[in-house]
Amino acid sequence: MSTPPPPPPRKRVTAAMVAERAGTSIAAVSLVVNGKHRGRISDENAERVRAAVRELGYVVDSTASALARGTSDVVVLLAPDLPNPFFGRVINAVQETLGERFQLLLFASPTGAQPTVADVRRLAALRPAGLLVSAPTVEFLDDAPAGVPLVLLDAPGLEDRAPAVNYDLASGVRALIAHLAERGHRVIGYLDGSTPAATYELRRTLLQAEAERRGMTLLTTPRVRSRPDIAEAMAAAEASLPAWRAAGATAVIAASDTLAHGVLAACARAGLRVPEDIAVAGFDDLPASAVTAPALTSVALPGDLLGSVAARLLVSLIDGGEAPEPAELPAALVVRASTG
Amino acid sequence: MSTPPPPPPRKRVTAAMVAERAGTSIAAVSLVVNGKHRGRISDENAERVRAAVRELGYVVDSTASALARGTSDVVVLLAPDLPNPFFGRVINAVQETLGERFQLLLFASPTGAQPTVADVRRLAALRPAGLLVSAPTVEFLDDAPAGVPLVLLDAPGLEDRAPAVNYDLASGVRALIAHLAERGHRVIGYLDGSTPAATYELRRTLLQAEAERRGMTLLTTPRVRSRPDIAEAMAAAEASLPAWRAAGATAVIAASDTLAHGVLAACARAGLRVPEDIAVAGFDDLPASAVTAPALTSVALPGDLLGSVAARLLVSLIDGGEAPEPAELPAALVVRASTG
DNA sequence: CTGAAAGCGCTTACAG
DNA sequence: CTGAAAGCGCTTACAG
């Protein structure tokens, strides 16, 4: 009887084992698996290394590689609002764009808060290959680790601090206010995000300026805010609807669709018909916004575009490329039933 | 004129620098920052180390630490359906439960596909502290890296392969079918997920068995499937509604709320009233399901519970704890307008 | 309680 | 084209 083949050794495969099998040095293995062997290793030896890699199932140990090179293959995505469905598409696009070369590490500070200095230090200790930071504040950028390629997502006004990928919020806001003006709305309630980010600041100020320009009023005092959570947004809207209505508001804009979903829920509970009694609009154009009751008018902020463009930019920075002109992503108004 | 204070050295702070400042050895620094100094370092020296750490802003280099220890602080979450809003809460809960000790790395295979052997090898090369795997197939588990603590999420039937945190889908299904039976439905269309995961298999077979038990019919031939994407689900439902209706279906169940949102959209486009012409229900109870048109009946699968319980279990495994009895999470039916 | 030293598994000048 | 060796910054026996 023939003995069964010995079980594959449970030991982890190292470059030394590959080198021994291929009859080369460890250095040769490193050069070949990293594709740096042109003109340094004979074709024959390179092929032997490749064969040994295949046979043994060798994969470079990323911790050792990171230590030797001084940087890892990890790209960190920092986002204050991770649980927001908006980020699903961003994350997905980032991941697909990064491909097999980088690993995506998520970092979300406790909802809404900005990362602390200690957080930033711990991130830097990972020796990330690059950082993607969504909706940052200026304060965060002051603490950002030096020497790490950095791309900002949806960080209007911070373009001078780092390469940024932003939406053309001004166009979207103009279209939204024009649309509401045309429908005869003069006073508009506003539900703001509670995340302290430049993009929310800008959304509010743009809306306000554009409304004023047309002789309309955006109600921002008192400031009504909520984290990106439907239940919390509903509570905030429910508490504010009487005051908004008393001030003559016939429409409510929310800083994001998730917040707008909360407004819709609050209107339903208050027995208000949308859009007859009150119109509602948001930002993001989440997939679910096409099926809400009623379907939601929204300034579409394509998250997949944001993720893919930012990731592509980051990779080019990591590879030593120059930061190209920051491109603005479209922010188009999608009109649906919630604004009649 | 006094010279300005020299800028803080841009050099990265190492344990050697801390040791020099504290007047101790590097080993002492390591022991103190890792809290392993009890009975090994004098209180006085420990305090000097802590002071030096504070003054220099020292953080342990995680790549070097991982290499020396043979394992990193990274916990990998593998999920086939990451862009699905369902995962927002899971991710958030996992992250909060892991706290500062671990970093969360996301791995999503191209939507719906299972990770390949090569993917698994690359993950293993990160030397993760642990793995969280959502909705896996049996095949994946055969390739899973050995020797890495592993917890499965929503992996019914795979409990014997690894510690798992599952929902009590049977109860949820029973309640849903009972509810529909009570409303007089006898024939039900089914929109399945296209992700090849045990949880989707189980949802379908449980529904089918429970329907049969009550003399009802779940239409599963031909199998209608979609990825967790509203647009794709809408297209699938739109194509199947005529056949479902022709077979006498007065209700449609979708394997997840995201899919159900697509069904709602398809009904709206087909001019069908929900629930008068056709009732609709899903699984997950996404936040948005409370504000869809109409609000969606759903078997609630609390993602935050799934994430926190699984993460807590994983941490205990990492710390050498025994895998406790797998607890089943509740899956309660939430009845809303979409089923009348 | 303390420190010198080996070792983790790579990458990269460097000398042939 | 090739390989021996230093070095990345830790952690952990080990000998005092």
Tell me the per-residue pLDDT of B181-209, one tens digit each, with 9 for 90 and over. 999 999 999 999 998 889 999 999 999 99
pLDDT higher at B112 or A47: A47
Q: Which residues contact A253 (CB under 8 A, 6 or more apart)?
A: A176, A180, A188, A189, A190, A191, A207, A218, A280, A281, A282
The residue behind tokens 């298999």 is B201
* Residue positions counted in chain A: 340
Between residues A82 and B251, the one the model is more confident about: B251
Looking at chain B, which residue has its C-alpha nearest residue A82?
A: B88
Cis, bond preceding A115 (omega within 30 deg of 0) = no
B63: exposed, middle or buried (Cβ count in 10 Å: 0-12, 13-18, 19+) = buried
In the prediction, which pLDDT does A142 show? 87
Q: Say what the pLDDT of residue B5 is.
A: 38
Q: What is the pLDDT of residue A2?
A: 38
Considering only CA atoms, which of B290, B308, B256, B294 is closest in space to residue B84?
Answer: B256
Out of A167-171, B41-45, B95-99, B141-145, which region has the weakest mean confidence (pLDDT)? B141-145
DSSP structure class, residue B11: S
Q: What is the pLDDT of residue A150?
A: 94
Spatial distance between the Cα atoms of A328 and A163, rounded to a whole number of angstroms: 12
- Quick: pLDDT tens for A127-163: 999 999 998 888 888 888 888 999 999 999 998 889 9
**Strand D reaches within 7 A of the B201 CB:** no
- Residues B84 and B256: their CA atoms lie apart, in Å, by 10
Judged against a pLDDT cut of 50, whether residue B7 lies above it is answered with no
pLDDT band at B79, cuts 50/70/90?
A: confident
Q: Examine the pLDDT at B113 and tell me if it is beyond 80.
A: no
Answer yes or no: is A106 CB < 7 A from strand C.
no
| pLDDT for position A1 | 38
* Distance in Å, alpha carbon of B264 to nearest chain A alpha carbon: 7
A75: left (phi over 0), alpha (psi -120 to 50) or beta: beta
Q: For position A138, what pLDDT does the model report?
A: 85
Q: Is the pLDDT of residue B6 over 70?
A: no
Ranges of residues in chain A whose predicted pLDDT is under 70: 1-11, 110-112
Nearest to B340 by CA among B259, B211, B251: B251
Residue range B224-237: average pLDDT?
A: 95
B16 touches strand D (CB under 7 A): yes
Q: Is B148 strand, coil or helix?
A: coil
- Cβ contacts of A264 on chain B, cutoff 8 Å: 291
**D chain positions with any atom within 7 Å of a protein CB:** 1-5, 7-13
pLDDT given for residue B139 in this prediction: 85
Please say whether the beta carbons of B151 and B310 come within 8 A. Answer: yes
Are A119 and A107 in contact by the 8 Å Cβ rule? The answer is yes
Q: Which domains does chain A have, with CATH numbers?
A: 15-60 (no CATH), 71-167+304-330 (3.40.50.2300), 169-301+333-339 (3.40.50.2300)
Q: From the list B91, B106, B288, which residue is nearest A288 (CB)?
A: B288
Number of Cβ pairs < 8 A linking chain A and chain B = 147
Is residue B91 within 8 angstroms of chain A, CB to CB?
Answer: yes
Q: Does A74 touch chain B (CB under 8 A)?
A: yes
Residues pairing with A251 in the sheet: A188, A279
Over residues B278-334, the pLDDT tens digits come to 999 999 999 999 999 999 999 999 999 999 999 999 999 999 887 777 779 999 999
Are the beta carbons of B265 and B230 closer than 8 angstroms?
A: yes
